[in-house]
Amino acid sequence: MKMKPINAPDAPQPLGGYVQAMEVTGATRTLYISGQIPQAADGSVPERFEDQARLVWENVIAQLHAADMTLDNLVKVTIFLSDRKYTADYRKVRQEVLQGRQIGLTTIITGIFDEKWLLEIEAIAAA
């Protein structure tokens, strides 16, 4: 499988470690990860935003591993934030987790199913 980042020169350039488009060729499997929440297996939910963000990413990674994939297989991620005030903190955690990996990315500011959850992440991966 090959992934080719695409950033059209005649469109706005991305800011913050993502690409405008990702071309995938030669993939034989696609994984659609439902929205992962900031809840541990025991049902606990951290109070601090950064702790929730790290836990959500741990849950995304767990789904990837269950499908014999890694963060290197991520193609597209959609982040749902409960408030735009978390944007900078979320970007910081995302960049720590992805360690320079570039992916297609959309961030949506919206209400989240449970008021304790400050974010949710869904993803698409390919192998």
pLDDT of the chain, 127 residues: tens digit per residue: 998 888 888 988 877 778 888 889 998 999 999 999 999 999 999 999 999 999 999 999 999 999 999 999 999 999 999 999 999 999 999 999 999 999 999 999 999 999 999 999 999 999 9
Domain 2-6+29-126 has CATH 3.30.1330.40: yes
Q: What residue ranges do the domains of the chain occupy?
A: 2-6+29-126
pTM over the 0.85 mark: yes
Q: Where are the beta strands (DSSP E) in 1-127?
A: 2-6, 21-25, 30-36, 74-81, 104-109, 119-126
CA separation for the pair 56, 76 (Å, rounded): 15
- Which of 41, 68, 59, 55 has the alpha carbon at shortest distance from 125? 68
User: What angle do the packed helices 49-66 and 87-98 form, to 10 degrees?
Assistant: 40
